């Protein structure tokens, strides 16, 4: 599995509470079967980063509830994300992988943050605004989604958040939240939360689905990470192309198949195929066969591992349980400090 060259962590010198240590945190939505867009947009970089720093990766099932209210599907997707990460080379000895709701303290922290968050800021949230613009009535979970995300990040003292460009606003809101908490409850020289930096990943909007639009579950145009055999072939051969005849020269940069080939092929191979496009006599069918072979080879090892993992669901659960244990070992003392700072006393202890 080639590791990404793009995932170099930036320095986090701007963090008041933790000037030197990088803590990577990121959440993954369990909202459907993962596809090439998810892989090249985020998962690949998560895998590349997870060995380099202390890192927390969690499957955000609480967040998924804002749009997915099918219990069986949520449970299935949650385990599917975990299996996928492990199959792709996530090593649970190197970083923590767990289910968000196994650390219920995040919802408590989110509650505390709600009281520091102006509703007017939440109403500017992009996904909230989108829903409203579509004439839909968003639920309160969606309005408050960015606050829970802030809690997710800050409860582990996260300093670096590898996410897609669409998440920039959420990280800004997280920084605001950390700042407001520190300002309200902490002495100036002893802030509790570091201000996390986004680590913006490659733009995935350029990854086309089989119909040429951005690859997205909601368009039903995805190629699944573990599609194989006939299913994979059918999808690849069905990628939309223009009707330039086989003999004619073609512009690779205008073609969906070539856009996908670029994700897999070495520079030399890309140049070779681009030259064949421009020379003419090389049809889209050729390009698709080439792409099919590339996808098949690229994920062959992961597919194999996935088949093995599917026979060991207990192992996947063990990994998630251990991950949650480690995450809670961070979250619990953090919440003790938060409760102490905010005056939430307990008569139980």
For residue 234, indicate whether it is catalytic: no
For residue 289, indicate whether it is catalytic: no
Closest approach of ligand TRP to the CB of residue 300, in Å:
28
Residue burial 291-321, b: 16+ Cβ < 10 Å; e: rest: bbebbbebbeebbebbeebeeeeeebeebbe
Report the interhelical angle of 168-185 vs 140-154 (nearest 10°): 70
Under the binding rule (CB under 6 A), the answer on residue 152 touching ligand TRP is yes
H-helix segments, the chain: 36-38, 44-49, 61-64, 71-87, 105-114, 119-122, 126-133, 140-154, 168-185, 229-237, 256-264, 267-279, 284-298, 300-310, 313-342
Angle at alpha carbon of residue 134, lines to 132 and 171, rounded to 5°? 55
Q: Which residue among 112, 122, 161, 204 contacts ligand TRP (CB under 6 A)?
A: 161
Residue 106 to residue 179: CA distance in whole angstroms: 18
Q: Which residue among 12, 15, 22, 26 contacts ligand TRP (CB under 6 A)?
A: 26
Among residues 124, 129, 217, 230, the one annotated as catalytic is 217
Q: x/- string (CB under 6 A) for ligand TRP, residues 97-116?
A: --------------------
Under the binding rule (CB under 6 A), the answer on residue 60 touching ligand TRP is yes
Closest approach of ligand TRP to the CB of residue 38, in Å:
9
Contact of 182 with 192, CB cutoff 8 Å:
yes
Under the binding rule (CB under 6 A), the answer on residue 95 touching ligand TRP is no
Closest approach of ligand TRP to the CB of residue 102, in Å:
14
Under the binding rule (CB under 6 A), the answer on residue 144 touching ligand TRP is no
Range in contact with ligand TRP (rule: CB under 6 A) among 112-120, 149-157, 260-268, 297-305: 149-157
Under the binding rule (CB under 6 A), the answer on residue 153 touching ligand TRP is yes
Nearest to ligand TRP of 150, 236 (CB atom): 150
Q: Which residue is nearest to ligand TRP (CB)?
A: 27
DSSP-assigned letters across all residues of 84-127: HHHHTT--TTTSEEEEGGGSTHHHHHHHHHHTTS-HHHHTT-HH
The site for ligand TRP (CB under 6 A) is made up of 25-27, 29, 60, 63, 149, 152-153, 161, 163, 167, 170
Catalytic residue numbers, as ranges: 131, 214, 217
């Amino acid at each position: 599995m080639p590791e990404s060259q793009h995932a170099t962590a930036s320095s986090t010198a701007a963090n008041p509470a933790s000037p030197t240590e990088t803590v990577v945190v990121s959440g993954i939505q369990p909202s459907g079967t993962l596809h090439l867009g998810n892989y090249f947009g985020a998962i690949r970089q998560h895998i590349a980063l997870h060995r380099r720093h202390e890192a927390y990766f969690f499957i955000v099932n609480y967040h998924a509830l804002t749009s997915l209210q099918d219990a069986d599907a949520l449970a299935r997707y949650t385990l599917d994300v975990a299996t996928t990460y492990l199959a792709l080379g996530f090593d649970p000895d190197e970083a923590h992988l767990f289910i968000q709701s196994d650390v219920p303290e995040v919802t408590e922290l989110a509650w505390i943050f709600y009281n520091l968050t102006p509703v007017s800021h939440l109403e500017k949230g992009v996904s909230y605004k989108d829903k409203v613009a579509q004439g839909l009535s968003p639920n309160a979970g969606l309005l408050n989604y960015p606050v829970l995300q802030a809690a997710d990040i800050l409860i582990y003292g996260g300093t670096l958040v590898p996410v897609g460009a669409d998440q920039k606003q959420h990280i800004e809101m997280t920084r605001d939240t950390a700042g407001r908490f520190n300002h309200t409850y902490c002495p100036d020289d002893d802030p509790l939360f570091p201000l996390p930096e986004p680590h913006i990943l490659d733009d995935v909007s350029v990854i086309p689905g089989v119909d040429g639009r951005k690859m997205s579950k909601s368009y039903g145009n995805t190629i699944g990470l573990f599609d194989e055999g006939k299913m994979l072939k059918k999808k690849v051969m069905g990628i939309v192309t223009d009707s330039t005849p086989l003999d004619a020269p073609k512009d690779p940069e205008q073609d969906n198949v070539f856009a996908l080939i670029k994700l897999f092929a070495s520079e030399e191979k890309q140049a070779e195929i681009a030259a064949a496009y421009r020379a003419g006599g090389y049809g889209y069918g050729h390009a698709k066969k080439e792409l099919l072979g590339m996808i098949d080879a690229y994920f062959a090892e992961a597919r194999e591992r996935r088949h093995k993992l599917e026979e060991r669901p207990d192992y996947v659960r063990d990994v998630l349980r251990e991950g949650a244990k480690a995450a809670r070992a961070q979250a619990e003392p953090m919440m003790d400090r938060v409760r102490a700072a905010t005056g939430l006393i307990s008569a139980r202890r």
